[in-house]
């Protein structure tokens, strides 16, 4: 495999949308994509031969809680450690923001079937004996059908 280079806070909207499309995620508008990147705390992009093959971003308050959002690795390079590189870079950023002597939550919502990858990186699957399940609500125009 060719060497992977990580770049930080330098991902353009078109590349972000192309990555999302490459893993068949929900289509975003240009404005949604711009706002998502603009309001991210930190963005890591992985490049192979000057082509972006993966990315991840942090969202949250940067003090009490940060979430991994949009961890993407294109299918043709999955299984080669790129996702781990991105996740490690995101975790290092969270650690750098954490106030010494405090605890900070580092969370994510995992796609079905990807639990083992995140457990390998010390994330706890919920629910546990003390933590309830993660929950979600989709807000959209009422005339659209629900994705239940």
Q: What is the C-alpha to C-alpha distance for residues 78 and 101, in angstroms, rounded to an integer?
A: 36
Tell me, what's the pLDDT at 141?
Answer: 84
Tell me, what's the pLDDT at 16?
Answer: 98
Tell me, what's the pLDDT at 77?
Answer: 97
Tell me, what's the pLDDT at 143?
Answer: 62
Beta sheet of 4-8, edge-to-edge order: 4-8, 42-48, 51-60, 65-73, 105-108
pLDDT in tens, 12-48: 999 999 999 999 999 999 999 999 999 999 999 999 9
- Structural domains in the chain? 4-120 (3.40.630.30)
Tell me, what's the pLDDT at 111?
Answer: 87
**Residues of the chain with confidence (pLDDT) below 50:** none
Tell me, what's the pLDDT at 2?
Answer: 83
Q: What is the pTM of this model?
A: 0.91
């Amino acid at each position: 495999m060719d060497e992977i280079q990580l770049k930080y806070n330098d991902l353009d909207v078109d590349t972000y949308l192309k990555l999302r499309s490459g893993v068949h995620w929900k289509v975003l508008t240009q404005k949604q994509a711009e706002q998502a990147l603009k309001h991210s705390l930190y963005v890591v992009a992985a490049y192979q031969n000057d082509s972006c093959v993966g990315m991840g971003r942090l969202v949250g308050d940067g003090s009490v809680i940060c979430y991994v959002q949009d961890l993407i690795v294109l299918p043709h390079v999955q299984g080669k450690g790129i996702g781990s590189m991105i996740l490690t870079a995101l975790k290092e950023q969270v650690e750098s923001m954490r106030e010494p002597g405090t605890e900070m939550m580092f969370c994510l919502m995992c796609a079905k079937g990807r639990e083992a990858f995140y457990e390998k990186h010390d994330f706890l699957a919920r629910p546990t004996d003390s933590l309830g399940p993660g929950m979600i609500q989709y807000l959209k125009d009422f005339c659209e059908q629900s994705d239940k």
